[in-house]
């Protein structure tokens, strides 16, 4: 069963004993984050803070903080299904002849069900706020040395200025004042690419920040999908049903109709300010760096919205479980490009981007290097610091087994490759 929004997700988690309601008053300034860190490090439940100081909006966090919760949210236990659906779509042949076309009708009909569908209105259009402000939302400050409050689980919606292909990405945003926030668009991210194209044209880019919605769409925003794949379509592939969208009021973008809150605005390429520091998922503060500014122009929301957020820090926190699902869901795609790959793991302690372990069915000398180089050139895997390739008798998900293989089978002089000046 597809979970359609945050309210349904809360109910499903509560029914499964995976959610705790906190009725005691809590503060967005460090207190909620500290409670969440202790909860996450103790493998605790999702938490719904119902009494947030100075706000009439509850805060939901750690909703994706276990494999069980992700299974509930995505409606599946085998996450490789997601990647396999994409692989199957690439193999679909256009039928010739009336008989073959008739045979393909059920399959083509199912394909049509995953495309987004534009609606006139939806739950997120219940309230159109004429005086939008970041100060109306219980955005957290999570670490003492953070530069301020950061949106950490906003789904940032843009569209390619030339092709119109839509993107959803999760990029942190530092709130500057009630109308402005800094957009942490790293150069290798698709949202930044859209921004750069607009900048070259001398134009600002319209952006929508989506808070909440169904778990599959949230996951789709985080997942690094193949270049050229519309993220709204990918959400439909993940959900196995197309998402419903509505038009924004102040910008020309469509957003999920089942969101809790939508913040509308634009990013001006000429308005650059210092962002940070920020306590990041590596366990260290990222320093101050220049990033473009988002200006808020509109706000839509439900009558009683829930603010969905997360916190990051030294692993293992909520993002580790999302990373494991991404790892599993994209295994079929990796095999499509590298057929000799048997299994694939990105250890949580390596904050996923830091290390990848791959097992292969080796047939010839140097094959491990071929696989490693191929994966290093594949999308976001280009940012991976360390690749370890092992034989297919090694369990890549058992770090002890991997260490045993390294220490008994590796010749460091022969088997180690160092690539200088690579982006990580």
Assess whether 118 and 86 both reside in one domain: yes
| 248-260 average pLDDT score | 98
Name the helix (H) or strand (E) containing 337. Answer: helix 331-337
Find the angle CA(212)-CA(333)-CA(409) to the nearest 5 degrees. 115
Assess whether 158 and 258 both reside in one domain: yes
Measured CA distances, 188 to 164, 185, 334 (Å) = 19, 8, 20
The tens digit of pLDDT for each residue in 112-161 reads 789 999 999 999 999 999 899 999 999 999 999 999 999 999 999 999 99
Assess whether 257 and 108 both reside in one domain: yes
| 259-267 average pLDDT score | 98
Return d(Cα 311, Cα 29) in angstroms, integer: 13
Residue at a domain's end among 308, 326, 354:
308
* Banded model confidence at residue 101, pLDDT cuts 50, 70, 90: very low
Q: What is the pLDDT of residue 91?
A: 66
Assess whether 64 and 103 both reside in one domain: no
Assess whether 113 and 174 both reside in one domain: yes
Find all residues with CB under 8 Å of 386, minimum gap 6, and list them: 350, 354, 355, 356
In a domain, 351, yes or no: yes
What percent of the chain shows pLDDT beyond 70?
Answer: 95
| 163-189 average pLDDT score | 95
| 233-258 average pLDDT score | 96
Residue of 301, 273, 277 whose CA lies nearest to 288 = 277
Helix axes 215-222, 318-329, angle to 10 degrees: 80
Return d(Cα 345, Cα 357) in angstroms, integer: 5
In a domain, 195, yes or no: yes
In a domain, 183, yes or no: yes
Q: Provide the number of structural domains found in the chain.
A: 3
In a domain, 331, yes or no: no
Whether the CB-CB separation of 294 and 183 falls below 8 Å is answered with: yes
| 401-413 average pLDDT score | 94
Q: Domain with 226 in it: what CATH number?
A: 2.30.110.10
Q: What is the pLDDT of residue 250?
A: 98
Using DSSP's 3-state secondary structure scheme, residue 263 falls into strand
Q: What is the pLDDT of residue 92?
A: 57
Q: What is the pLDDT of residue 247?
A: 98
Residue of 138, 417, 183 whose CA lies nearest to 293 = 183
Assess whether 114 and 145 both reside in one domain: yes
239 burial level (CB within 10 Å; 0-12, 13-18, 19+): buried
Q: Is 67 left (phi over 0), alpha (psi -120 to 50) or beta?
A: alpha
Return d(Cα 299, Cα 289) in angstroms, integer: 28
- Helices marked H in 118-230 — which ranges? 190-200, 215-222
| 401-422 average pLDDT score | 91
Helix axes 318-329, 67-74, angle to 10 degrees: 60
Find all residues with CB under 8 Å of 113, minimum gap 6, and list them: 236, 240, 241, 242
Q: Is the pLDDT score of 107 beyond 50?
A: yes
The tens digit of pLDDT for each residue in 14-36 reads 999 999 999 999 999 999 999 99
Assess whether 222 and 366 both reside in one domain: no
* Pairing outcome for strands 261-275 and 173-175: unpaired
Other beta carbons within 10 angstroms of residue 396's beta carbon come to 23
Return d(Cα 32, Cα 333) in angstroms, integer: 38
Assess whether 277 and 154 both reside in one domain: yes
Q: What is the pLDDT of residue 113?
A: 85
Q: Is the pLDDT score of 323 beyond 60?
A: yes
* Banded model confidence at residue 383, pLDDT cuts 50, 70, 90: confident
Return d(Cα 256, Cα 247) in angstroms, integer: 9
In a domain, 322, yes or no: no
The tens digit of pLDDT for each residue in 341-382 reads 999 999 988 887 889 999 999 999 989 999 999 988 887 788
In a domain, 91, yes or no: yes
| 172-177 average pLDDT score | 98
Active site residue 319: no
Assess whether 56 and 90 both reside in one domain: no
Return d(Cα 419, Cα 12) in angstroms, integer: 47
Whether the CB-CB separation of 156 and 209 falls below 8 Å is answered with: yes
Average pLDDT along the chain = 92
The tens digit of pLDDT for each residue in 69-89 reads 999 999 999 999 998 888 887
Q: Can you give the residue range of the structural domain that contains 260?
A: 81-308
Q: Which of 280, 343, 393, 415 is catalytic?
A: 280
Assess whether 49 and 86 both reside in one domain: no
Express the helix, strand and coil content of the chain in percent, nearest 5 each: 35, 25, 40
- Cis peptide bond N-terminal to 316, omega within 30: yes
| 283-290 average pLDDT score | 95
Assess whether 32 and 90 both reside in one domain: no
Assess whether 64 and 88 both reside in one domain: no
Q: Is the pLDDT score of 47 beyond 90?
A: yes
Residue at a domain's end among 24, 39, 74:
74
The tens digit of pLDDT for each residue in 288-303 reads 999 999 999 999 999 9
Q: What is the pTM of this model?
A: 0.92
* Pairing outcome for strands 46-49 and 19-22: parallel
| 397-413 average pLDDT score | 95
Residue at a domain's end among 74, 95, 115:
74
* Banded model confidence at residue 110, pLDDT cuts 50, 70, 90: low
Q: Domain with 393 in it: what CATH number?
A: 3.40.1670.10
* Banded model confidence at residue 187, pLDDT cuts 50, 70, 90: confident
In a domain, 423, yes or no: no
In a domain, 261, yes or no: yes
* Banded model confidence at residue 103, pLDDT cuts 50, 70, 90: very low
| 331-349 average pLDDT score | 92
């Amino acid at each position: 069963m597809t979970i359609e929004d945050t309210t349904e997700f809360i109910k499903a988690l509560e029914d499964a004993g995976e959610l705790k309601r906190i009725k005691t008053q809590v503060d967005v300034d460090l207190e909620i984050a500290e409670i969440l860190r202790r909860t996450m490090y103790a493998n605790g439940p999702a938490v719904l803070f119902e009494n947030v100081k100075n706000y009439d909006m509850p805060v939901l966090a750690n909703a994706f903080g276990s494999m069980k919760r992700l299974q509930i949210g995505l409606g599946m236990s085998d996450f490789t299904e997601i990647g396999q659906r994409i692989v199957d779509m690439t193999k679909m042949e256009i039928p010739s002849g009336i008989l073959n076309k008739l045979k393909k009708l059920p399959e083509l009909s199912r394909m049509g069900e995953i495309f987004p569908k534009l609606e006139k209105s939806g739950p997120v259009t219940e309230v159109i706020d004429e005086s939008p402000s970041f100060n109306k939302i219980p955005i957290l400050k999570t670490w003492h040395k953070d530069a301020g409050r950061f949106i950490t689980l906003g789904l940032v919606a843009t569209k390619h200025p030339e092709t119109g292909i839509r993107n959803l990405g999760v990029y942190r945003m530092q709130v500057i004042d009630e109308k402005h926030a800094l957009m942490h668009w790293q150069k290798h991210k698709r949202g930044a690419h859209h921004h750069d194209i607009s900048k070259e044209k001398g134009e600002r880019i319209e952006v929508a920040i989506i808070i909440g919605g169904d778990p599959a769409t949230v996951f789709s925003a985080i997942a690094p999908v193949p270049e050229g794949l519309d993220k709204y379509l990918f959400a439909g592939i993940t959900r196995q049903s197309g998402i419903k969208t509505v038009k924004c009021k102040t910008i020309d973008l469509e957003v999920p109709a089942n969101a809790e809150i939508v913040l509308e605005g634009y990013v001006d390429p000429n308005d650059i300010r210092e962002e940070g520091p920020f306590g990041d998922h590596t366990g260290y503060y990222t320093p101050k760096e220049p990033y473009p500014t988002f200006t808020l122009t509109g706000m839509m929301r439900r009558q009683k919205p829930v603010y969905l957020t997360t916190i990051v820090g030294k692993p293992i926190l909520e993002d580790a479980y999302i990373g494991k699902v991404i790892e599993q869901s994209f295994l079929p795609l990796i095999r499509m490009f590298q057929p000799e790959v048997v299994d694939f793991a990105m250890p949580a302690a390596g904050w996923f981007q830091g290390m990848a372990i791959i097992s292969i069915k080796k047939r010839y000398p140097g094959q491990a290097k071929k696989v490693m180089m191929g994966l290093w050139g594949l999308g976001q895997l280009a940012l991976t610091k360390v690749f370890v390739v092992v034989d297919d008798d090694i369990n890549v998900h058992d770090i002890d087994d991997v260490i045993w293989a390294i220490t008994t089978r590796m010749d460091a002089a022969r088997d180690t490759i160092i690539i200088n000046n690579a982006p990580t």
